[in-house]
Amino acid sequence: MSQFIKQLKPAFEEAALPVVKLLNRIGITPNILTFLGVVFVGIASFFIYKGEFFKGGIILLFGNLCDALDGILARKFNLNSKFGAFFDSLTDRISDFLPIISLGLYFRENEYILMLSAFAVLFSFLVSYARARAEGLGINCNVGVMERTERSAVLILSLLTNLPVAGLVIITVGAAITTIQRIFYVYKNSN
């Protein structure tokens, strides 16, 4: 997570606390929020595929908010579980894939943009896999300039400003750099 996002996280969690308390009071669990988040992402991806980028960006924002709130809800009310962590990680990969591949499909007549979207997905997955594999080896590897939060923010902003190809370029380059950073980090810390 970038230093900027790390600094924003406590303020966001504090601002979200009333919503999280309400969700807990009405019986919404972290896993329900996780599921709702991926449903929103799926709906957003449909609009992205149809070229309705602004609408897709707004709905994607709601999906990402659900994804952010599920962790806060789990931590604040001691609702953490191994399944919840697994489910959250699994749905994160779906949320990485669907909107980006939807952009690729929208621009499918342009083979360069289609390939760009494929590389954006590839490097996004490599960022996540590098961290998971390193942690499996006992190395804490949350380094890099473009983790999931940053990639999501870039994608949403690029959709809302009708600059989706620029967003794909930034995501691809940033995720590739982050993958390389993680490779070097694990290499330096694995001896």
pLDDT for position 182: 96
Cβ pair 134, 183 in contact under 8 A = no
Residue type, 32: I
Residue 92's pLDDT band (cuts 50, 70, 90): very high
Give the C-alpha distances (Å, rounded to integers) separating 87 from 21, 78, 83, 185. 22, 17, 6, 27
Q: Give yes or no for a contact between 94 and 41, defined as CB atoms under 8 angstroms apart.
A: yes
Long-range contacts of 91-94, Cβ-Cβ distance < 8 Å, separation of 24 or more = 91/34, 91/35, 91/37, 91/38, 91/67, 92/67, 92/128, 92/148, 93/125, 93/128, 94/38, 94/41, 94/42
pLDDT value at 10 more than 90: no
How much is the average pLDDT of 120-148? Answer: 94
Residue identified by tokens 């370029």 is: 169
- Provide the pLDDT confidence category of residue 183 given band limits of 50, 70 and 90: very high
The pLDDT of residue 2: 63
User: 13-70, pLDDT tens digit by residue?
Assistant: 889 999 999 999 999 999 999 999 999 999 999 999 999 999 999 999 999 999 999 9
pLDDT band at 1 (very low <50, low <70, confident <90, very high): low
pTM of the shown model:
0.92
Is residue 4 predicted with pLDDT exceeding 80?
A: no
- Specify burial of residue 24 (Cβ count, 10 A radius: 0-12, 13-18, 19+): middle
What is the reported pLDDT for 81?
A: 93
pLDDT mean across residues, the chain? 94
Residue range 3-188, CATH number? 1.20.120.1760
For the chain, domain boundaries: 3-188
